[in-house]
Amino acid sequence: MSQTEATMQKIVSLAKRRGFVFQSSEIYGGLRSAYDFGPMGAELKRNLMNEWWRAMVHSREDIVGLDASILMHPQVWKSSGHLSSFSDPLVDCLVCGERFRADKAPRVAEGSDAPITLADKGRAKAALEKLQEAHGVSLTRSGKTLAGAQASDRGYVCPNCGSPFLSDERQFNLMFRTFMGPVDPIGKVVDTVRAAVESGEDGKAIRARVEDALAESTVYMRPETAQAMFVQFPNVVQAMSPKIPFGIAQMGKSFRNEVTVEHFVFRSVEFEQMEMEYFVPPGEGPKWLDYWKDERMRWWQSVGLKAENLRFREHDDDELAHYSDGCFDVDYQFPWGWDELEGIASRTDYDLKAHAAGSGKKLDYFDPQATNPETGKPGWRFVPHVVEPAAGATRGALAILCDAYDEEPADADGKGARTVLRLHPRLAPVKAAVLPLVKKDGMPEAARAIVEQFLDAGINAKFDQQHAIGKRYARHDEIGTPFCLTVDGQTASDETVTIRYRDDRRQERIAASEAVTVVQEALRR
């Protein structure tokens, strides 16, 4: 097992053991790429999303919030281009049968005629022999190398076995579709197909007929939250009279029928996004793209991600959508390598224009103070341009877990090894644990009274008297509780408790009445 796999396995195991993330429907064998956030994970993800909302909506005057439906009019996805092009290029490996995304496959250096290394996997070996038999493909094998085999001119190989023998690419649309209203989609399909077959139509025509028959009841689970901000643009402008530049922010569930299973919750079929559309005057996209790059990088660091684990990746020209005039990913260094956490794109006026064309409605903005560049007179009506920072909350929670995960070795006496989650106090699921040293002598009662003080202040503190004190400290280190407050024999006489700091295990005595203030201060930082 590689170092990477070992680290990931430890994080996944802690996530399950301590109630952060479970496989969805686990008792039934689980549902592929679907996960449930357990009691600790639900708090962590919610805290992260609250931080985002606080930074985006509550701490500034130029952004308002939105909470839109997951199901939208199907025309939305036609106008936005998702129906025709929100797809992944899928390929099957002809050697081992792996199905994978062409755009994520390992690249082969251009012009390289070096032999391609075929991973020595049982499945690949057996399949290769079959392929040779069936197709008469003649290959010379030297050890694990397919000598002379050229990568197809597509420039990538199978991520599982390294083979360059691949099927054609097929576009696979990622949107989940379902049916709204009292319809029996299967009945409709059967009736349509029967009628089409009777009239002797070919496969292509039958397919088109079936699509038509289902079209009026078909709806899609949104694959991103962003489109609602464009579609509701005129209502928000009408209701709020915002002064440009301004933004509309939304957090919530999105759904993608992801085919490749990858890295725990990093790529899941149902996940939460935190997206904001920032509307600016034409020509100001690049300037605001720079602004939002800085803001977002700062924010990820403010919630605890280490600067050295974050970077920008600029999209190449051939990666940029045709309408975009600049796009950067915020990448995080996950245990398996750099990968996308957030995309920040300058989208020009593409989205509002696309929905204006699709709906026949005007999606523009009138600025009475601006000078119209064509007439030179005051008052300018224009279609705003958009800069979009689009972040993943589910992916963000995983990055936070990976960054906070730490193991401390034992000291010279073999004591003190521990696993600790160094979460920012604002993200920690439990802010303070209040622990009676023993279950007698009034200690549990005194501890409960301290918990009450926290709850009155709106801070999530937990009473915990299960197991020996060392075990309780270990448990709270593993869920990232920043403070443990221990009530002991001395508490009754002088009303003090021991506070133990998670990060350095330092302990000191403080007045029980100060406990809430200490935690409040840490939460403010």
Taking the complex as a whole, how short is the minimal distance between the CB of residue 346 and ligand ATP, in angstroms?
Answer: 13
Taking the complex as a whole, how short is the minimal distance between the CB of residue 256 and ligand ATP, in angstroms?
Answer: 5
Counting contacts by CB under 6 A, is residue 347 touching ligand ATP? no
- Categorise residue 145: left if φ over 0, alpha if ψ from -120 to 50, beta otherwise: beta
Counting contacts by CB under 6 A, is residue 237 touching ligand ATP? no
Which is closer to ligand ATP, CB of 35 or CB of 483? 35
C-alpha distances in angstroms, 101 versus 150, 160, 168, 220?
20, 12, 12, 22
Counting contacts by CB under 6 A, is residue 502 touching ligand ATP? no
Single-letter amino acid code for the residue at 409: P
C-alpha distances in angstroms, 301 versus 273, 304, 403, 440, 447?
18, 5, 11, 44, 35
Which is closer to ligand ATP, CB of 328 or CB of 380? 328
Which is closer to ligand ATP, CB of 341 or CB of 420? 341
Counting contacts by CB under 6 A, is residue 340 touching ligand ATP? yes
Is residue 408 within 8 Å of residue 421, measured between CB atoms? no
- Give CA angle at 506 (502, 508), nearest 5°: 115
Tokens of 128: 């290769």
Counting contacts by CB under 6 A, is residue 222 touching ligand ATP? no
Which is closer to ligand ATP, CB of 153 or CB of 318? 318
Residue closest to ligand ATP (Cβ): 392
C-alpha distances in angstroms, 270 versus 15, 175, 477, 508?
18, 11, 30, 45
Taking the complex as a whole, how short is the minimal distance between the CB of residue 343 and ligand ATP, in angstroms?
Answer: 4
Taking the complex as a whole, how short is the minimal distance between the CB of residue 351 and ligand ATP, in angstroms?
Answer: 13
Is residue 72 within 8 Å of residue 178, measured between CB atoms? no
Counting contacts by CB under 6 A, is residue 224 touching ligand ATP? yes
Write out the H or E segment, with its range, that includes residue 85: helix 82-85
C-alpha distances in angstroms, 57 versus 173, 239, 251, 293, 485?
33, 17, 11, 17, 34
Which is closer to ligand ATP, CB of 391 or CB of 430? 391
Counting contacts by CB under 6 A, is residue 268 touching ligand ATP? yes
Is residue 274 within 8 Å of residue 251, measured between CB atoms? yes
Which is closer to ligand ATP, CB of 196 or CB of 341? 341
Counting contacts by CB under 6 A, is residue 51 touching ligand ATP? no
Counting contacts by CB under 6 A, is residue 273 touching ligand ATP? yes
What DSSP string describes 269-281? SEEEEEEEEEEE-
Which is closer to ligand ATP, CB of 88 or CB of 464? 88
Give the Cα separation of 355 and 368 in Å (integer): 24
Which is closer to ligand ATP, CB of 93 or CB of 226? 226
Q: Is the dihedral of CA 450, 452, 453, 459 positive or negative?
A: positive
Q: Total binding residues for ligand ATP by CB under 6 A?
A: 16
Which is closer to ligand ATP, CB of 192 or CB of 260? 260
Which is closer to ligand ATP, CB of 392 or CB of 436? 392
Q: Which residue from 343, 425, 429, 444 is in contact with ligand ATP, where contact means CB under 6 A?
A: 343
Counting contacts by CB under 6 A, is residue 436 touching ligand ATP? no
Distance of CA 466 to the CA centre of its chain: 35
Taking the complex as a whole, how short is the minimal distance between the CB of residue 254 and ligand ATP, in angstroms?
Answer: 7
Choose one: 8-16, 40-48, 384-392, 450-458; the region binding ligand ATP (CB under 6 A). 384-392
Choose one: 62-70, 129-137, 335-343, 405-413; the region binding ligand ATP (CB under 6 A). 335-343
Counting contacts by CB under 6 A, is residue 342 touching ligand ATP? yes
- Categorise residue 97: left if φ over 0, alpha if ψ from -120 to 50, beta otherwise: left
Positions that interact with ligand ATP (CB under 6 A): 224, 256, 258, 267-268, 271, 273, 340-343, 390-392, 394-395
